[in-house]
């Protein structure tokens, strides 16, 4: 556990705790407002993210940015990170040992950001953060509260590229998030 960003990021940048270090170009640590009330958690870097060292800059990220624009969410005002920080080869899902090794960083990021709401993008994020018993089809679009944080599971933006109908759900779920943020801000 680090209580400052510099040490945490430096540690992650040189990390070799799982085998994914061998094939990465860049460690994709996370991006955005380090004091954000709203955080997004994806699965792991793809080819574009691995090249650029920033999460969600490829096709899925562009789609997410478009949804952000539609809903008035500013990318620079939220914090965005992934379950694993190095790219799984050929975009396979992270394996259990990889996610387990990497999750310490993400937990530390959540502790430092102190978000009120976390959007879980897809099944890998959902299962690793809230537990294997959760399924994305049944859980998406519904609030789950745990230890003072509100979680909203939704489809991974890459899933929207494969199935257009999921875009409607995605926007609907993020609308709930925007409304949730407003309600929380009115309370304080
Ligand atoms: N998909 C993810 O889960 N994360 C990224 O950063 C990019 C694509
Ligand atoms: Fe370390 Fe995570 Fe990269 Fe594995 S994926 S080498 S645990 S930073």
DSSP 104-138: HHHHHHHHHH--SEEEEESHHHHHHHH-TT--HHH
Distance 46 CA to ligand 1 centre (A): 6
Q: Across residues 162-170, what is the average pLDDT? A: 97
Beta strands in the chain (DSSP E): 31-32, 38-42, 79-82, 117-121, 144-146, 149-154
Query: Percent of the chain at pLDDT above 70?
Result: 99
Distance 156 CA to ligand 1 centre (A): 8
Residues with CB under 6 A from ligand 2: 12, 15-18, 20-21, 27, 84-86, 98, 101-102
Phi, psi of 157 (to 5 degrees): -55, -30
**pLDDT above 70: residue 166:** yes
**pLDDT above 70: residue 122:** yes
Ligand 1 atom closest to residue 43's alpha carbon, by position in its atom list: 3
pLDDT tier at 188, thresholds 50, 70, 90: low
Q: Break the chain into its structural domains and give their ranges.
A: 5-187
pLDDT tier at 187, thresholds 50, 70, 90: confident
Give residue 152's pLDDT.
Answer: 99
Integer Cα distance of 29 and 145 in angstroms = 25
Ligand sitting nearest the alpha carbon of 16: 2
Taking only the tens place, the pLDDT of each residue in 43-67 is: 999 999 999 999 999 999 999 999 9
Q: Across residues 108-114, what is the average pLDDT? A: 98
Integer Cα distance of 135 and 120 in angstroms = 12
87 token code pair: 């790219």
Taking only the tens place, the pLDDT of each residue in 134-161 is: 999 999 999 999 999 999 999 999 999 9
Residue with tokens 């590229």: 161
Taking only the tens place, the pLDDT of each residue in 3-33 is: 999 999 999 999 999 999 999 999 999 999 9
Ligand sitting nearest the alpha carbon of 86: 2
**pLDDT above 70: residue 185:** yes
Could you tell me which CATH number the domain at 5-187 has? 3.40.470.10
Integer Cα distance of 83 and 104 in angstroms = 10
Integer Cα distance of 67 and 50 in angstroms = 23
Q: What is the mean pLDDT of the chain?
A: 97
């Amino acid at each position: 556990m680090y209580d400052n960003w510099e040490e945490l990021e430096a540690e992650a940048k040189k990390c070799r705790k799982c085998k994914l270090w061998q094939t990465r170009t860049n460690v994709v640590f996370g991006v955005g407002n380090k004091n954000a009330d709203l955080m997004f958690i994806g699965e792991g870097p793809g080819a574009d993210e691995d090249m650029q060292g920033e999460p969600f800059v490829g096709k899925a990220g562009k789609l997410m940015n478009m949804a952000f624009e539609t809903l008035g969410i500013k990318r620079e005002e939220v914090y965005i990170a992934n379950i694993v920080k190095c790219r799984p080869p050929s975009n396979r899902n992270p394996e259990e040992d990889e996610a387990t090794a990497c999750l310490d960083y993400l937990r530390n990021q959540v502790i430092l950001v102190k978000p009120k709401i976390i959007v879980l993008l897809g099944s890998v994020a959902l299962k690793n953060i809230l537990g294997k018993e959760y399924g994305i089809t049944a859980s998406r679009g519904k609030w789950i509260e745990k230890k003072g944080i509100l979680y909203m599971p939704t489809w991974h933006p890459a899933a929207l590229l494969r199935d257009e109908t999921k875009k409607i759900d995605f926007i609907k779920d993020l609308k709930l998030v925007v409304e949730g943020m407003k309600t929380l801000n009115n309370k304080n």
